[in-house]
Amino acid sequence: MPVRHWHKLLVVALCLMLADCGQKTQLVNDMPLPPFGSPRHSGLATVAVEKPPAGPSRHDVNPSQWIPSAKESKWRFIVVHHSASTRGNAASFDKAHRDRGWDELGYHFVIGNGSLSGNGEVEVGPRWKKQKYGAHCGVRDHPEYNRVGIGICLVGHFNEGKPSEAQMESLAQLVRWLMARYDIPKSRVLGHGMLKATDCPGTKFDYNDLYRRL
């Protein structure tokens, strides 16, 4: 067969191939895209999740502030209280105690709930700085709970609700520090209501939770 006939056949074959490819390309381009909600894509969809509002964060605690400047007393007990009020701080309780005729704030430490002081903030009372006996746990025939008992008050009414997690963390940290410094055993970490007929530190205060943290 002459060469020019082969050229014609090759040209015709190439034209047929190109036409066929063009049809296939058109068919692919005309295919509809799968819907977004199809099973193939549904797992990739982004769902907006609303985060719950954050509660008040714990106030920073600095144990170096707990070291008294006066000669240290031989403390033997730690007594936990609640303020039986939803608001308060060391200054407001100091005023309330003075209004009752006391010389000053009866507690050695006050742990805030975020109302008038930070959530979990440990306020050091003037009695502790002076290493002065407490005025927080008067028990007939047992003056030792005031004389050598460290009074810690958590702001809140724990017949109505529990202390905040920040308060419990700060309480445990403070109590551990006091236990180590004054060689006080866990058996002498007490609630006010364990020593006299009172609900203090509240019917919803969880002693087991505190002891687990110590």
pLDDT > 50? residue 6: no
Distance separating alpha carbons of residues 146 and 98, to the nearest angstrom = 17
How many other CB atoms are found less than 10 A from the CB of residue 155? Answer: 29
Q: Give the pLDDT score at 85.
A: 98
Pairing of strands 149-154, 77-82: parallel
Sheet holding 189-191, edge to edge: 119-124, 109-113, 149-154, 77-82, 189-191
Where does 69-213 sit in CATH, by number?
A: 3.40.80.10
Higher pLDDT, 20 or 97: 97
User: Per-residue confidence at 57, pLDDT binned at 50, 70, 90?
Assistant: low
pLDDT > 90? residue 64: yes
Q: Amino acid letter at 26?
A: Q
Higher pLDDT, 24 or 123: 123
Helices marked H in the chain — which ranges?
3-29, 39-42, 90-99, 126-130, 144-147, 165-182, 207-213
pLDDT > 80? residue 119: yes
Question: What rounded mean pLDDT belongs to the chain?
Answer: 83
How many other CB atoms are found less than 10 A from the CB of residue 108? Answer: 29
Q: Give the pLDDT score at 56.
A: 55
Angle at 204 between CA 199 and CA 210, to 5 degrees: 100
Nearest to 172 by CA among 52, 61, 21: 61
Overall average pLDDT of the 116-137 stretch: 98
pLDDT > 90? residue 126: yes
